[in-house]
Structure 1
Amino acid sequence: MNEFYLFTVLLITLPDLVTLKVCEYRDSCSCVFDDGSGMIDLASLARTDGMPLFQDQSSTADLFLYSYNPCKSFDEGTCTSVSACQYDPYLYVYYEIGSQNHVTFNVDGSNVVAIYASDDGARSTHVTLVCDTNPNSPPSVTVTGEGAQTNYYMQVTAPQLCAVPAPAGWGGGGLSGGSVLLIIFFVLVIVYIVLGAVFSKYKKQESGKGLIPNYNFWMDLPALIRDGWAFVIMLVCRQKYGYVSTK
């Protein structure tokens, strides 16, 4: 049963591992995909006149107002040289929630998330960057607002956030993280089969099918997977539809 559990976990997690993608930091305004698919560059989206791209945007989760500008810092109230600012319209208080000096990039599914930490490290703003395939669409923002532990969330959608070719010398120069994990997986499978066969032949004096490591387990695996999925489907049906098996 332990072997079945480990194998099932591997089957579930392997697709995520294979598609693992990294957007390597280039500067506070851009990152380059490690698989050679291009880069995300915020430069053409940023305002350069000292004003935020989005100013005093309302949130779906709280009563604060939020301002944000990529690449170039702006000032608003007591927020000085920031990339993101939170404003309390009732107490008239401003909070710096992100700086251009502390930017990192993560990949979340098909989108890049730019994370701006405040200069004091107490707060951070997570901006999900969504590509709009319509080149004529204006940039838009949806602010979720404050989450747990002084993290703030918003989503920016714009044509300027679609991947563009990376400059020479950036990206595509090596294997992606997913490719490395896939190679490691198949190497471990081969080592498992070879060492298992050698052990079975010389230590257990097996031959033929007996050389296959854990032969009985692999023969039973299809039935175990079938039973496992049947059990999961039964639980889902019970929770969603109130179905109870009569068997």
Structure 2
Amino acid sequence: MKVFTVPRRGSVLVWTFVMQLVLCWSVVFATNGTKACKLFSESDSERKVLSRLEPLAQKEFSADITDEKESYTYVFKLCGDAGGVTGAGVIQKDNKDKIKKPKVIGQYTSTEAIGGNDWVMLIYNDGEPYDSHCSNEKRKAIIMISCNKDTNTDKLVVVLEDRNRTRECFYLFELDSSSVCPPTESHLSTGSIILIIGFCILAVYLIGGFLYQRLIVGAKGMEQFPNYAFWVEVGNLTSDGCDFVCRSRNREEAPAYRGVTTDALEEEPEERDDHLLPM
């Protein structure tokens, strides 16, 4: 006895709905990009600067700092949760104390963006307050993203932590990337355009003429070359034209003086004096 199993229609519909929901969410998340960053003071100019960093959105970068007393790992994420910490754009991890909670240096929900031709300065504000430095103000991270067309991997570098002041302390990071490089515009000169057009016309002439001679006319060998008879005579025609235009006198030189030629003497009839003899 054969037993036929019928798939549960309800479970199939549920799984289909779940897959569609996941796909929709992934599309929304992928296209969100730099829009996840909330500007400290919303402006079109800063939003335009942020749009230049779209290739780096949702990417995570890290850098390690180690000395005799301290060892930290800094994690930076553009418009995303660095190290999985909600709202954090830059965090600091204590490598000597794994249990210690990561310290938030700056939040991407309070972002400032300043840009130049080949650089972007990103500022994350509202980090965790200092314990005894900088009048207990909140930490701030400054990420200097510079153009570097030669780099293949974007590497984060910790420059310094400036906390020996009463206010406006900050952490400074550097990141070289080709994403902020201005687009290179290629302008062709008039001569280049003429050369390109000439090469295209020549290619069409050669290929089209070759196909015509071979397929239509039925030529073989060198006869397949378009206008073969003409191009063979080009050298002779050019030489004749140059000779006609450039030469100023006839090639045959006139004699320096007129003399009696041997031909004239030979052709002169022999004078006979037989009539003078007595009969």
- Does TM-score exceed 0.5, indicating one fold? no
Which one has more relative contact order, counting CA pairs under 8 Å at least 6 apart?
A: 1
TM range (shorter): 0.3 to 0.5
Q: TM-score, normalised by structure 1?
A: 0.43
